[in-house]
Amino acid sequence: GENVGLHLPTLSVQEGDNSIINCAYSNSASDYFIWYKQESGKGPQFIIDIRSNMDKRQGQRVTVLLNKTVKHLSLQIAATQPGDSAVYFCAEGSYGQNFVFGPGTRLSVLP
């Protein structure tokens, strides 16, 4: 299958530990942010989103934090599982505008 992100920054975590993936975005006018997960051979899959009027949003095992002051976004994955191994992208945008994706981080879950 497709080998996504051969030269990406890699985060290695032990199975069961928490993971934190960081992203710096560029446009202070962006008002919507998404985290996508991409496995080899597949298109990006939506994980969680957050609007600029929030600083934290929680999903199932995932939390997104937004710091607009420093234009920073993070994705926290609780109790990381082998199935979480993938490349993770943040994307920023505004309604009616197109998303700009970050460079991605490869998450590798160690048994």
Partner 1 sequence: DTGVSQNPRHKITKRGQNVTFRCDPISEHNRLYWYRQTLGQGPEFLTYFQNEAQLEKSRLLSDRFSAERPKGSFSTLEIQRTEQGDSAMYLCASSLPTDYEQYFGPGTRLTVT
Whose CA is closest to 94, among 11, 13, 5, 27?
A: 27
Name the minimum Å distance from CB 71 to partner 1: 16
Binding positions for partner 1, 34-73, rule CB under 8 A: 34, 36, 41-46, 49
Are residues 11 and 19 in contact, defined by beta-carbon separation less than 8 angstroms?
yes
E-strand ranges in 32-84 read 32-38, 45-51, 56-58, 62-67, 72-77
Identity (one letter) of the amino acid at 110?
Answer: L
* From candidates 64, 66, 102, 109, binder to partner 1 by CB under 8 A: 102
Nearer to partner 1, 36 or 73 (CB): 36
Tell me: does residue 7 bind partner 1 (CB under 8 A): yes
Task: List contacts with partner 1 (CB under 8 A).
Answer: 2-8, 32, 34, 36, 41-46, 49, 89, 91, 93, 95, 98-104
